[in-house]
Structure 1
């Protein structure tokens, strides 16, 4: 017969061990929680410091930031724009990963107040150096005002920290006909060039926000896919040929593929057609890594008059045959009105119907 004292001692030791393990687990959890708070605070402080530095540099064009223990700014004489040095390939104002949330509403007045350096039409250029590229950012648009507020709220500070000479163009499709994203992008290209000698064109959906400002909205040696890892797809590329969301092409690359197709009415297909155009001309798609290329999508129901295009698969299969006659060389549209705001240039256009 087993000694009851031995059984009790074994049970007591087991219970003691379980209690110790629970205490250890709680201690580890508390340590990680405190560490996460410190990291978050450091991220906020770093963002605030870079933002303050950026504002100081904007207010003092001839100022150069000198590394000193007290992080003070040493002011040089103000210089003319033609005498400015080129901005560095990698902006020193970048902060890296960003906290992107859509829980708190934003207003256009708030965005205007927080971006006082913007010029009319959503135009900006750095004052302390000469931007490496002139970038037109083109957004196809219809009935997405709430999404646009978030896009402007997050993107304007990002683009300024990236030290770009940029302008924002909202291309609004007039009327109630079926939506045509690619044709609106062609219109944006044509209209932007009427105002400025842009060298680079970034084509962005209004519901996509980058989560890292190192994902620079500029052009590269090859056409660039910027929205690499979207939360919608579990932060993974859905397929290797995917070229939707946000992309950039230089003026030379854009003309080489004859722009984008004009005959994709409704949802889907046009980004695959553009991919086919790029590869047909011997170019390849470049991408940032999946960490830098992260972005969030503002959740929404599919828009009315933007049902899936039943002809998209047939059109994609014949891209090589149609791309030379369907594109920027066959674009036709009518400008209905142009609105200039501090935050953007909104161009409402009649692009016809299917």
Structure 2
């Protein structure tokens, strides 16, 4: 019995040891398995962290991205050491577009109509209420320095220089500017106003000042038409266009001074216009008419001798009002005028623009006109 018990115990112990060994092996296997799993998890974690850092860097770069044209970005790279901005990718198209615009010519305007649609017809012209230059400037905001204007919406049919012989008639000039600037703008002219001021106290020479105005205006611009106007004459209808025609034009047809009638058929005084070709054909105006009167008839004779005739608007359209005044000092009637008029054909080729002499004292580009003060000498 004792031997049998020992055999049983030994078998039991042996099985127990095998079970323990099996459990230990199982434990070790489980431990190894989980150890290996933990290594894989840690490796994946590290990879995820690296990927996250890369994504974070890219996200930060995107946050520094600016857009200039709506299509291509501007990238700014930022480091601790320096802040550096890469060239704008979209700037090149802008520069190319700007260069293209500079190369391409501006769209050419259409010609203004021969008769402006802005005209209003008969005008009320009064000289009772004084005007000042600031008021005139405010009412004509589109004027350029020197009394220059050109239409914005169309190309003017003519480039016109308005020439005014002048001396000590400031109040008359204010009225002229007040009325004429709006009229000339409604007529859609490309024009400039030149006041030719005779310096000193010598006898007045209207025709010579007109010659000076012709040359001085051409120094500024390629005018093709010249309107010669006394400072005291205002048109009463804006259909009386201050431009040139196929024949020399007499614009002040019917003045209130003469009862709104033409004083005589050869009369060419007050306001007239000639193209450059017409003016040069008669050698300009005479320079030797000192004092009042005679030069208008001399000009008429010059035109007639060259086969030109005088064109005029109708009496109603050509109405003008004169600012009444006493005769200026140093502008007494010229006693030699009748003799000179009789010899126009003999003198016109040597007395005119080809023999003009004068000295510019000062040129002023004012808001409403260009004032040229000149010394025209003496008789």
The match for 1:345 is 370
Greater C-alpha radius of gyration = 2
- Runs of 4+ aligned residues of structure 1 deviating over 3 Å after TM superposition are none
The match for 1:90 is 115
Distance in 2, Cα, partners of 1:250 & 1:320: 21
For structure 2, the 5+ residue unaligned runs are: 1-104
Distance in 1, Cα, partners of 2:107 & 2:354: 35
The match for 2:18 is none
Distance in 2, Cα, partners of 1:167 & 1:272: 27
Q: What displacement does 1:155 show?
A: 0.1
Distance in 2, Cα, partners of 1:260 & 1:81: 40
Q: What displacement does 1:81 show?
A: 6.1
For structure 1, the 5+ residue unaligned runs are: 1-79
| In the alignment, structure 1 residue 162 sits paired with structure 2 residue 187 | yes
What TM-score, normalized by structure 1, do the two folds share? 0.77
The match for 1:187 is 212
For the structure 1 residues 82 and 137, does the alpha-carbon distance in structure 2 shift closer, same or farther, using more than 3 Å as the test? farther
For the structure 1 residues 81 and 155, does the alpha-carbon distance in structure 2 shift closer, same or farther, using more than 3 Å as the test? farther
Aligned residue among 275, 283, 302 for 2:327: 302
Q: Partner of 1:195: helix, strand, or coil? A: coil
**Cα deviation code 1:41-95 (max 9, x no counterpart):** xxxxxxxxxxxxxxxxxxxxxxxxxxxxxxxxxxxxxxx8651000000000000
| In the alignment, structure 1 residue 206 sits paired with structure 2 residue 225 | no
Aligned residue among 311, 331, 354 for 2:356: 331
The match for 2:87 is none
**Cα deviation code 1:250-277 (max 9, x no counterpart):** 0000000000000000000000000000
| In the alignment, structure 1 residue 145 sits paired with structure 2 residue 170 | yes
Q: Partner of 1:299: helix, strand, or coil? A: coil
The match for 1:232 is 257
Q: Is the 8 A contact 1:81 1:127 kept in 2?
A: no
| In the alignment, structure 1 residue 271 sits paired with structure 2 residue 296 | yes
Distance in 2, Cα, partners of 1:81 & 1:249: 32
Distance in 2, Cα, partners of 1:142 & 1:270: 18
Distance in 2, Cα, partners of 1:342 & 1:165: 16
Q: Is the 8 A contact 1:81 1:130 kept in 2?
A: no
What TM-score, normalized by structure 2, do the two folds share? 0.72
| In the alignment, structure 1 residue 293 sits paired with structure 2 residue 327 | no
Q: Is the 8 A contact 1:180 1:266 kept in 2?
A: yes
Distance in 2, Cα, partners of 1:82 & 1:192: 28
